[in-house]
Amino acid sequence: MGDHYDAIVLGVGGMGSAAAFELARRGRRVLGLEQFALGHDRGSSHGHTRIIRKAYYEHPDYVPLVLRAYDRWRDLERRCGRTLLTECGCLSIGRPDGELIAGVRASAGLHRLEIEDLDAAGLRRRFPAFQFDDVYVGVLEPSAGFLYVEDCVRAAVAEARALGATIRDNEAVLSWKAEDAGVAVYTAAGRYTADRLVATAGPWAGRMLADLGLPLTVMRQVVFWFGTQEDAAFRREVFPTFIAETPEGDYYGLPALNADGLKVARHYGAPELRDPSEVARAVTDDDETPVRRFLRAHLPSADGPRRRASVCVYTLTPDRHFLIDVHPRRPQVVFAAGFSGHGFKFASVVGEILADLADDGRTDLPIDRFRLSRFGLPTHS
């Protein structure tokens, strides 16, 4: 085709759509390439909603980034005239010395975030749908919320296009190679060139960046929506998003927002696979069993008929933190991968980070925790 761009974005899900938007708003000539239809359900950027929270139990280093992400989501809302982020308290439930409760309290304390501690009796009194015994406590973060995930992707793509970006879906990238100071990208439709390549390939990152030998695996996860005894008792105004750490596994859920009912899923707990082609797309009764067990033990009034189910894919790093960096041997290539099942809320700020790295090879946003070097891999300097 002979078309040349300032940047080609490889993969237009949550991270890629945000990167294309951010580059386009900076006046760059952008091409986004997506192997499936935009908003597809084959990766990690679907499933109606995602929790967004500030008191980040995974590590306090995430908090400045998620605060910036809130600002960027609100900016995108203003531009597109659509609600993308809805406020809704997030309730963390676990044992006081567990990773979840201790982590939420640590991040909130360090960054002076508002939280409310609930002992076992207070948890049952405040949120009577939950049934946990006296070894459990709750921490409520009132300024949390949820994102409408497919709407976020569509909004970022629409704004990127409005700013002049070209976004092509159903066009799989076959290969790419470095050429002088730029890159050439090959698809079934032809060849494109650019000064920069931004790789946001989700579960396919290992393939697209095979020369780096990234320590990535994928994990099949199934999300369910259940009818409840009374959906009005699970609406956003009275029922929070939640994360629960139990000896049988970690679970999360979101309020009943429509006729599908309460959204609930297990977090992790499935085998790690080498490639997304190994992910089974059909939902089985075995997938539902552990989620039902959790509901019957801890949310019995939500143990109703299954109304919907969806398979998604986590792309995991060994330490469950992200990978965001410049290619150590190809400085014209930047990438973001391995979001480990908790990354979508950061998409708006990751787009900004990737645009910084593509433009300047560096960013002022704090990403040292996410560099290649922590796995003994070289880092571009």
In whole angstroms, give the CA distance from residue 122 to residue 115: 14
CA distance 151 to 147: 8
Of 270, 220, 227, nearest to 249 by C-alpha is 270
* Chain CA centroid to CA 183, Å: 27
Give the phi and the psi of residue 147 in degrees, each rounded to 5: -110, 140
Name the residue among 189, 193, 160 with its Cα closest to residue 176.
193
Annotated active-site positions, please? 46, 49-50, 263, 267, 312, 345
Q: Round the CA-based radius of gyration of the chain to a whole number and report it.
A: 21
Location of structure tokens 């979840």: 100
User: In this structure, is the dihedral angle defined by the CA atoms of residues 110, 57, 217 and 283, taken in order, positive or negative?
Assistant: negative
* 3-state SS class at 29: coil
Q: Which residues contact 324 (CB under 8 A, 6 or more apart)?
A: 335, 336, 337, 350, 353, 354, 357, 367, 370, 371
| Burial (Cβ within 10 Å: 0-12, 13-18, ≥19) of residue 215 | middle
- Phi first, then psi, for residue 310 (nearest 5°) are -150, 135
What are the E-state strand segments in the chain? Answer: 3-10, 30-33, 49-52, 85-87, 90-94, 116-118, 137-141, 145-148, 166-168, 173-179, 182-187, 190-199, 217-226, 241-246, 249-254, 262-267, 272-273, 306-316, 323-326, 333-337
